[in-house]
Amino acid sequence: MDLLEYQGKQLFARFGLPVSEGAPAGTAAEARAVAEQLGGPVVVKAQVLVGGRGKAGGIKLAADPAEAEQHAAAILGMDIRGHTVRQLWIERASDIASEYYFSITFDRGAKQPLLMLTTEGGVEIETVAEQSPEKLARLHVDPLMGLQPFHVRRLCFAAGIPAAEAKQVGAIIEGAYRAFIETDAMLVEINPLIVTPDGVVRALDSKYTVDDNALYRHPDIAGMRDAESGDPQERLARERGVNFVKLDGGDIGTLANGAGLAMSTLDVVAAAGEATGHRPANFLDVGGGADAEAIATAMEVLLSDPNVRAVLFNVFGGITRGDEVAHGILTALERLDATLPIVVRLDGTNAEEGRRILADAAPPNLHVEATMLGAAARVVELVEGSAA
């Protein structure tokens, strides 16, 4: 789960990291009120889960509350790379002498947290990594050893942090590491980490991702999820507990059991549809051991996309039983009164029984195929036919 800048900063503050004083605002009037309370110049910042806010005009300096209100009004509702701005963060403006970068990522390759620090902050870290790799200090921390003082020293020495700032930067590294560990974070990034002209080091932005699987340990963070955001179909899927990802521009709904098979299904559908311009509309994994009810729910999510003109079921039963899948399909067809073409490929546990159940019911729009490639070809054929 990705957090908005101000949510990340709230966590920063909880772990003792210095951030600028500020408050969130949902309306222009609120933005003005916050600016009045802070006094002096403020920065109005769009809160969206996407980069490039500044370039898109989502971050504006305001000299006074009136200007803050104007900027807020302009930014709210703005579309930034597909994300509508519904929330702002208003904070006291900062004087900046230098911009550093610090992050902790969950390095799955090394299986250890990776700390990165550079004095070349304020830009994309990939750029620094490419253009001046010698300026990017990188260090892994064995989680069983834990962050030791030497890690901090080594990182600061390697990045060339001036001695006068090393203590502040060190405390920020320690606080961020604690935050990373204690909030089950997958990413904690501070870019830029600024130094003010009078030598104060402060986090001016935050990028913060928390492991979805660990949210049960952090109900406060789970509560930060922005229920309003995102695609309506994905929201429906989330509400129904269906493992679903929408793909842009597709017209063939797909469903499989198991993430790998579901991904593979997309690939073979895309390959089959390439010549005629048909594409998969979604990823949907019904998971292991799905029962009839789960299948029906998944179908409901699939059909909520009006662009979907045919559906492919690709189920290879392990825990999942073919007879349950067959019942689920029939239940869904009846309940949703679905008439669009549906191709079913069933294999594995109780597959024969499942195929018999489908053959017995024999709804006219249902087509059973024996192989995955055959099913992909068939569903493309059917959606192409329905378009004609």
Partner 1 sequence: MPIIVTAETRLVVQGITGREGSFHASRNRDYGTAVVAGVTPGKGGQDVDGVPVYDTVAGAVAEQDANTAMVFVPPRFAADAIYEAVDAGCGTIICITEGIPAHDMLRIYNYIRPRGVTMLGPNCPGALSPGIANVGIIPAQVFAAGRVGLVSRSGTLTYQIGKELADLGLGNSTIVGIGGDPIVGSSFIDILERFEADPGTDLIVMVGEIGGDEEEKAGAYIDEHVSKPVVAYIAGFQAPAGKTMGHAGAIISGSSGTAAGKQQALQARGIPVGDSPTAAARLAAERLA
- The contact set with partner 1 (CB under 8 A) reads 106, 108-109, 111-113, 126, 142-145, 148-151, 153-154, 157, 163, 181, 184, 186, 211-214, 216-217, 243, 245, 247-248, 256-264, 266-268, 270-271, 279-280, 283, 285, 288-289, 316-320, 347-349, 371-373
Least distance (Å) between residue 31 CB and partner 1:
29
Residue (67 or 347) nearer to partner 1, CB = 347
Residue (172 or 290) nearer to partner 1, CB = 290
Residue 30 annotated among the catalytic residues of the structure: no
Least distance (Å) between residue 44 CB and partner 1:
26
Residue 100 annotated among the catalytic residues of the structure: no
Q: Which residues pair with 3 in a beta bridge?
A: 208
Residue (55 or 81) nearer to partner 1, CB = 81
Least distance (Å) between residue 320 CB and partner 1:
8
Q: Count Cα neighbours of 278 within 13 Å in the Cβ-side half-sphere.
A: 28
Least distance (Å) between residue 101 CB and partner 1:
15
| Cα-Cα-Cα-Cα dihedral sign, residues 115, 119, 121, 123 | negative
d(CA 349, CA 321): 5
- Token pair for residue 321? 């039983």
Least distance (Å) between residue 112 CB and partner 1:
7
- Radius of gyration of the chain from its Cα atoms, rounded to whole angstroms: 26
Residue (148 or 339) nearer to partner 1, CB = 148
- Set 91, 120, 189, 324: catalytic member: 189
Residue (7 or 350) nearer to partner 1, CB = 350
Q: Is 283 within 8 Å of 264 (Cβ atoms)? A: no
- Token pair for residue 235? 């929201």
Residue (47 or 349) nearer to partner 1, CB = 349
Least distance (Å) between residue 67 CB and partner 1:
34
- Set 5, 69, 91, 101: catalytic member: 101
Write out the catalytic residue numbers.
101, 189
